[in-house]
Chain A
Amino acid sequence: MNIRLTFTIIITKFLIFMLRVLKSGGTSLPGKVARKIYPDIMKIISKDFRIIMVTGTNGKTTTTRIIGKLLDENNIEYITNKSGANLVSGVITTFIESVNVFGKSKASTALLEVDEAAFNVVTDYVQPDILVVTNFFRDQLDRYGELYTTLNNVRSGIEKSPNAKLVLNADDSLCASLGHNMDREVLYYGFSDEAYTGNSTVVNSDASICLYCKSKYEYSYHVYGHLGGFSCPNCGYMRPTSKVTCVKINELNTSYSDIIFALGPLKESGEPVSYNARINLPGLYNIYNALAAASLGHLLVFSPDSLVKAMESFECGFGRMETIQTNGKTIKVILVKNPTGFNQVLSYLLTEKQNTQIAFVINDRLADGTDISWLWDVDFEQLQQMQGNVSCFYTSGIRAEDMAVRLKYAGIHSDKIQIEKDYETLLNKALDAISEGQNLYILPTYTSMLEVRSLLEKKFGLKEFWK
C-alpha cells in the first residue's frame, strides 16, 4: 500500500467535501493541494483509465456533454469534470474524487474537458488516449496571448501524447493542421460543400492566411468564421477529407437542428452511410459539436444508432443554453465568450419571431477576458432586423455602459437600449415585458453567468452547478 497516496487522497477528498458543504463551488483548490503533497499523484491514479480529452476554443462543454451521453448509451462507466473545472487542478480533482483511498476506480473511462490554454500543461500530468479538438477562434487574447500561441500549445501537448488518436475539425484550417502530416490515427469531421450555403463571404476571419506559406486561402464554401472548404493556392494545404460529415441540414430553428450526417468507413474502402439526427440544441455551432462527439463514437466503433440517440437526448452544459420556466414564460441563458460564438448566438436569436426581450450581461474579470474590445468584432448590426419584436435591449454587468455603446453603434435606436446593473430589477422588468409563451434571452459572459445563475437559483431553484 502506498501510504503517501492514500494520505493525499483522503486529505483531498476531505477538502472537496468541505468546499461543497460551504457551498463555495470551488472546484480547483483540492487539485492544487493534492499536487503540492504528492506531485506524482496523477501518473498513479490515471493509469488504469482510457482517457478522452476535449479541447478547443468553442463548444468544449457541449461536445463533452454529448460524448457523455454517448458513453451512457453504450453502458460505459466514466468519470468527467462536469462543472467546467477544466484547468490542471480541476482535472486532478476529478480523478481524485472518483478513486477510492487506494487510488482505484470503478470507472474505466475518463472524459475530460480541458481548457485549450491549459492542455499543454495538463499533458505533463496525464495524456489522452483520444483527443477531440473543436476549433480555434480568437478568445480572451489578453490572457492567452495570440491565437497561434494557443494552437502551438495544443500542438506541443499532442507531441507529449504520442499514443493519442486525434479527432479534428476538417473545416478549421488551424484545427486540421494538428493532424497535417501526422503519423498517427486522425479522424476528421466537418460539413460537406452542399450542407450549408448561408454564408458566402469570409469577413474579419481569424485565420485567412495559410499557416504554412502565408498565402491567402481560397474557399470553395464557407460555413461561419473561418470554417469551410479552405485550400491554399500556393502550397496546396487544404481541408482534409472528413470521415464524419454533415451532408444536409433539413431544419434549423430555435430549439433544434435536423441534419443528415454520413459516416465513412473507418478502414479500407467502402461507401459512407447516411443517418438522420435531430440535434437537441439549436445553432450551426452545435452541429459541429455533435459531429465531433459522433466522430469519437465512430472511432470507438459505437453503433450509429447510439450516435443518433446521444445527439437527440443529451442535456446541455453549464450555462451554455439553459432554460428556466416561470409562469409560462421562458428564460434562456446562453453563455457568450468570443466573437465567433457570440455571432452564432445572435444568428440563433434571429430565428426568434415572437415578441422577446434580450439582456447582455458583460463582465471583464479575468475569466471573462479583461479586454472587452472583442465586442466590436461581434456583428450586433444583425440585431437591427429584430427591432420590431424586441421592445428593449438591456445591458448589464461591469461593462454595461460599453455594451450600450456597442449596440448604439450597431444601429439600435438609443430608446431601445437600457442600462440596468441590478440583476433582480433587470429580471423583473424583462419578465414583465413578455407574455406567457414568450422568451427572455440572457447572454452573459463567464463570471456574469455565475452571478445570473446564482440569482436564478435563488429565485427559481435552478440546480447547483457541480451536479
Chain B
Amino acid sequence: MYELNICHLYPDLLNLYGDRGNIIALKMRCNWRGINANVSNISIGDKFDAEAYDIIFLGGGQDYEQEMIQNDLLNEKGEEIRNAVKNDKVFLAICGGYQLLGSYYKTWDGKEIHFLNALNLWTIGGKERMIGNFVFECDFLKNDNYDGKIVGFENHSGRTYLGPEVKPLGRIVKGYGNNGEDGFEGAIYKNVYCSYSHGSLLPKNPALADHLISIALKQKYKDFESLSIIDDKFENLAHDTMVKRIIG
C-alpha cells in the first residue's frame, strides 16, 4: 500500500482563511484511493527533518503571527527547507507561506525583511489589498477533459515578482494574481507550487490536488503510474459554478 507523509508547517500560527482545507483535501483524496496519508504538525521549536515527508505545506498568517515564526523559520528550519527545495521535495505554499519562500519582502515604506531565499522571487508591500474571487489557468493541468482553470479567493497586499528560473503557476483569467500587473498568478520551481489562492485551494480544484499527490508518489515509488479516478461530482460542481460566476 502506498503511503504519503504530509508535513503541515506552523499549523497553529500560519492558518489563515481556511488554508488547512488543503491538508484535509490531500489526506482525504489519498484515503479515498486507499493510500495511507499521515499528517504531522510541525511548529516553533519542533525538530524539522524534511526527508521524513513527501509533501510540505506552508500556509498564510496574519502579519503578527508571521513575525512570530520568522526567527524559527529562517534560523532553525531555513537550511533544511532550502535543501529540500533543491532536492525536488514537493511543496505547496499559500499567500504568506509563498512570500516567505522568496528572498525578501519590502514594505511599502521601504523596509526590507529577509526571507528564506529558497526561491528566486520577492514581494513588495502595497497599500491596497487585492481581494476577491479569482480564476487562473494552468497549462500543465490541461487535458482533453479539463481546461486547466483554477478558482479561488485572493486577499493580499504584497505584490510578488518572479526571477527568470521561476515559472508562474498560471495565467490570470479574472482577478489580480501575483502583482495585479503582469497577468500571472503563483509560482512553480522544481516541485514547489505557490499560490495566493486561499479558499481553500485544493478541495475545489481536485486536478491540482491530484497533481501534487501524483508527483509526490512518483518521487517515492518507482512503480507508481497514475491515480485512480474518483467521484468528483461535488468538487466539479463547486468549481464550475464559481468559474462561471466569476468569468461569466
Give the interface of A toward B (CB within 8 A): 141-142, 146-148, 202-205, 208-209, 214, 216, 370-377, 401-402, 404-406, 408-411, 414, 417, 419
Contacts and interface: CB of A to CB of B under 8 A. Distances in A.
A142 B156 CA distance: 10
B238 A404 contact: yes
A308 B210 CA distance: 56
A373 B18 contact: yes
Interface of B: 11-13, 15-21, 24-25, 28, 44, 62-65, 67-68, 131-133, 153, 155, 198-200, 203-204, 231, 233-235, 237-238, 241-242
A419 to B, nearest CB: 7
18 contacts: A141-B17, A148-B62, A148-B64, A370-B132, A371-B153, A371-B155, A373-B17, A373-B19, A373-B153, A373-B200, A375-B18, A376-B19, A376-B24, A376-B199, A401-B238, A405-B238, A408-B235, A414-B233
Contacts of A374: 17-18
B65 A373 contact: no
A328 B68 CA distance: 55
Nearest to A402: B238
Contacts of B11: 204
Contact of A146 (B24, B62, B68): B62
Most chain B Cβ neighbours within 10 Å, of A216, A377, A401, A419: A401
Contacts of B233: 414
A417 B237 CA distance: 13
A52 B28 CA distance: 49
Contacts of B67: 214
B68 A209 contact: yes
Contacts of B203: 376, 405-406, 409
B153 A204 contact: no
Nearest to A407: B234
Contacts, number: 94
A147 B62 contact: yes
B247 to A, nearest CB: 16
B24 A209 contact: no
A214 B64 CA distance: 8
Given A146-B62, A371-B199, A414-B233, 19 more contacts: A141-B17, A209-B13, A370-B133, A371-B198, A373-B17, A373-B18, A373-B19, A373-B21, A376-B203, A377-B15, A401-B238, A401-B242, A404-B237, A405-B203, A405-B234, A405-B235, A408-B235, A409-B21, A409-B203
B226 to A, nearest CB: 22
A227 B19 CA distance: 22
Contact of A419 (B64, B235, B237, B242): B237
Contacts of A401: 234, 237-238, 241-242
A371 B25 contact: no
B39 to A, nearest CB: 13
A287 to B, nearest CB: 26
A142 B234 contact: no
Contacts of B155: 141-142, 371
B12 A208 contact: yes
A422 to B, nearest CB: 16
Most chain B Cβ neighbours within 10 Å, of A147, A372, A377: A377
A377 B203 CA distance: 13
A411 to B, nearest CB: 8
B146 to A, nearest CB: 17
B238 A373 contact: no
A172 B78 CA distance: 33
B96 to A, nearest CB: 12
Contacts of B153: 142, 371-373
Given A146-B63, A373-B200, A376-B200, A414 B234 contact: yes
B231 A414 contact: yes
Nearest to B27: A409
Closest 6 CB pairs of A and B: A376-B18, A376-B21, A373-B18, A401-B238, A373-B17, A404-B234
A208 B153 CA distance: 25
A202 B12 CA distance: 9
Contacts of B234: 401, 404-405, 408, 414, 417, 419
A148 B68 CA distance: 14
B65 A209 contact: yes
A419 B231 CA distance: 16
B97 to A, nearest CB: 15
Contacts of B238: 401-402, 404-405
Given A370-B132, A376-B24, A419-B237, A405 B18 contact: no
B209 to A, nearest CB: 10
Contacts of B198: 371, 373
Given A148-B62, A408-B234, A205 B12 contact: yes
A374 B68 CA distance: 22
A372 B151 CA distance: 13
B94 to A, nearest CB: 10
Given A142-B155, A401-B241, A405-B235, A377 B20 contact: yes
A402 B204 contact: yes
Contacts of A419: 234, 237
B74 to A, nearest CB: 15
A373 B238 CA distance: 13
A451 B211 CA distance: 40
Nearest to B152: A373
B46 to A, nearest CB: 12
Contacts of B131: 142, 370-371
A373 B62 contact: no
A424 to B, nearest CB: 21
Contacts of A372: 153
Contacts of A377: 15, 18, 20
A74 to B, nearest CB: 42
Contacts of A410: 24
B33 to A, nearest CB: 14
Contact of A409 (B24, B44, B65, B199): B24
A421 to B, nearest CB: 10
Most chain A Cβ neighbours within 10 Å, of B13, B200, B231: B200
